Each structure stands twice: as C-alpha cells, then as structure tokens.
Structure 1
Amino acid sequence: MKDCIRRRAGRIPNKGENMASLITSAEFDEKVLKADGVVLVDFFATWCGPCKMMSPVVDEIASENEGKVAVYKIDIDQAPDVAQTYGVMSVPTFIAFEGGQVKAQLVGAQTKKALLDIL
C-alpha cells in the first residue's frame, strides 16, 4: 500500500519506468551544457507544493522520451549558483537546453503538453 501511495505522489516510478535524474551544480555543465540533443531541466525546491505536483509529470516525460530527451531535476536550494545563472526566481521553472543554449523556459505548474511543446 505504501508503495502505491509513493508512486502516486511521484516519489518512485512504476516498475520498468525511468525517472528524471537529480543532478548537482557540479554535474550541470557535463550533463546539460555538453549534452547532445535536447535537455529538459526542472528547477525545483523540496518545500514547493507545485513542484511536488509536477514531479510525476516530469518523470513521465523522462520515461516516455528515454533516448530522445535527457530530463534532469535540480534543487535550487542545493544549487543556488545554477538557479542564479539562469535567472530562476520562482519554482518550478522548466528550461529546455539544446547545444548548451537555452531553447525555451516556462515558469510555474504546466501541463504535460506545454512541457513537451518546448522540447
């Protein structure tokens, strides 16, 4: 039962699914800026209600687009330098990168379609 509740809350994926990877500021350049293809980064905070609501949606995008789009989450409280570099003033903020450059940015809770549209 607890497993089911945690899945619904977006904390763990269903068996066989992939989740967006949590990265640190030390990993950001390598995983995001030097990546081939499109990368979606979810800037979030653990205390943020809308961020918690969006987590399962972001994980679903990661699972459904495995091998096509890299999806990462970065905690702004643990990586304030990265958040400041990209002007993240509120969370959640979603930034799509391509070739190390910002391709698009959305702020606040979004629909899955809106996130897919910026990729």
Structure 2
Amino acid sequence: MEFKEIKNIINILNETDLIEIDVTFGKERVFIKKDNVVKQVLKSTKAPKKEEMSKKELIEIKSQNVGNIILLNKTGEPIVKKGQSIKEGEVLAYIESVGLKAEVKSPVNGIISDVLLADGDLADYGKILFLIEKA
C-alpha cells in the first residue's frame, strides 16, 4: 500500500462522521481510529437550545500544562462529577508530568457541565478539560 492511499483513507476519516476505518488490501491492513477525546468533544459540543443559550454561561477550563490528567482521588472516586456544584479555587483535577502534579482549579463558582477527558488521558496545553456553568 502506498502513502497516497493511506493519506486518502485518513482524509475520508476526517471528512466523515466515521470514528475508525479498517481496510485490507491483500496481505496489508490499515486500521485508523480517531482519538477518544475527539469523540467526547464532538458529543459535548451539540448546539444548545435558544432557551439554554440565554440562561447558561459556560466557562471552558483549559489545560495550562502538558501531561496526563488525574480525575480520581486516592480512593478511586472522581474528584468532581458532572452536575456537581463547585466553588472558585476548588481543585477539579491534576495534570501529572514527569512525576509532578499541577492542580487544575476552578476560576469561578458554578456547576460542572461536562468533563471532556477520561482519567489518564493526555491533556495538551490549551486542551479544554471541563465546561462549567457559571453560577
């Protein structure tokens, strides 16, 4: 299989709602899957109804570091959950990189509207981690 063919398969994946493609040409096989985070963001970015738009002010909490996100406490329970009320300065998660943990804190009082990553996922700089409905 040539690079052009693989590039065409990637373009098909990017231009459609497909999540993964598995193609076999003779003895060669290509399996390409979109990142799990992309699926979660696509699900959570549905256009809100007009009534919801006027009532809700959603704040995006973005990663200020690069590393793996920690969403669970030492007992394995989520630090925060969707629908939970939070206060300004409250720790929502941690970003772990080279053995160091950086806190992700809420800049506002509000309610967790969405958690966009799963525990252990890679949190790149600027990636949206949480959506918070401002109180």
TM-score normalised according to structure 2 size? 0.24
Query: Which of the two has greater helix per residue?
Result: 1
| Higher relative contact order structure (alpha carbons within 8 Å, sequence separation ≥ 6) | 1
Q: TM-score, normalised by structure 1?
A: 0.26
Which one has a larger percent strand, Structure 1 or Structure 2? 2
